[in-house]
Amino acid sequence: MTVTPDPNTLDRFVYSQQPGYNETATRAAFTNAVPLRTIVIYCYDPRAAAIPVELANLWPEETYPGDLILDEHGSKVGSTATIFPVVVAGGRAVDALRSITIGHHLFGLENVVVAHHTNCGTSSFTPRGLFDAYDAEEGVDLSQTYGTESLAIGHLESSLRYDVDLLRQSAAVPAAVHVFGYVFDIDLNEFTLVIDDD
């Protein structure tokens, strides 16, 4: 079933549609409410779901998932988490650029961690194999849609290098942000630091 609510009712939940909205003051309030320091990009594979918790264990000054902060009415107005996850196939950086931009704008950002994991599904195929299968099975040509370098993981070290370089060269990632590339072992729950682009 689909309901069609009054659009004005839904606007109650949109900050910029509130009476007296002030963008500068709202941004400052967001910065104060959320102590984001680190974005971690990792794979949507459920076997990799421990990554943000394990990163908080590895970096003791970081907090994840932390606690929600409630106001006097019980509304959720912030949290203590300093790590924000960006969860995408393979943990590839290309999918995270917009989220990094918005996270930095609203909360300020110090670190971006790219975590590629062992036995990732994206290491089970090649870009050519994916394009050929889409062509044969769906009748579409994706070869001009995606760059081959961000589709599949052929080597863990070079995929991390590619993603760290992509982030470093992107205008979306401020030069002061530290970028790290880790391999995460899904069976041992252990990180190996491969690239520290500090």
List interacting residues with Zn ion (CB under 5 A). Answer: 43, 45, 120-121
Q: Closest approach of Cβ 190 to Zn ion, in Å?
A: 16
Long-range contact pairs involving 65-72 (C-beta distance under 8 Å, separation at least 24): 69/33
Here the tokens at position 80 are 């203590």
- Taking the least distance from each CB to Zn ion, the nearer of 47 and 161 is 47
Q: How many CA atoms lie within 13 A of 143 on its CB side?
A: 10
**Cα–Cα distance between 156 and 122 in angstroms, integer?**
11
| Residue recorded with tokens 């370098």 | 149
Q: Closest approach of Cβ 50 to Zn ion, in Å?
A: 13
- Taking the least distance from each CB to Zn ion, the nearer of 45 and 62 is 45
- Taking the least distance from each CB to Zn ion, the nearer of 48 and 109 is 48
| Angle at the Cα of 191 from the Cα atoms of 186 and 192, rounded to 5 degrees | 120
Of 20, 15, 56, 11, the closest CA to residue 35 belongs to 56
Q: Closest approach of Cβ 119 to Zn ion, in Å?
A: 8
- The helix (run of H) or strand (run of E) holding residue 116 is strand 111-117
- Taking the least distance from each CB to Zn ion, the nearer of 22 and 119 is 119
Q: Closest approach of Cβ 178 to Zn ion, in Å?
A: 24
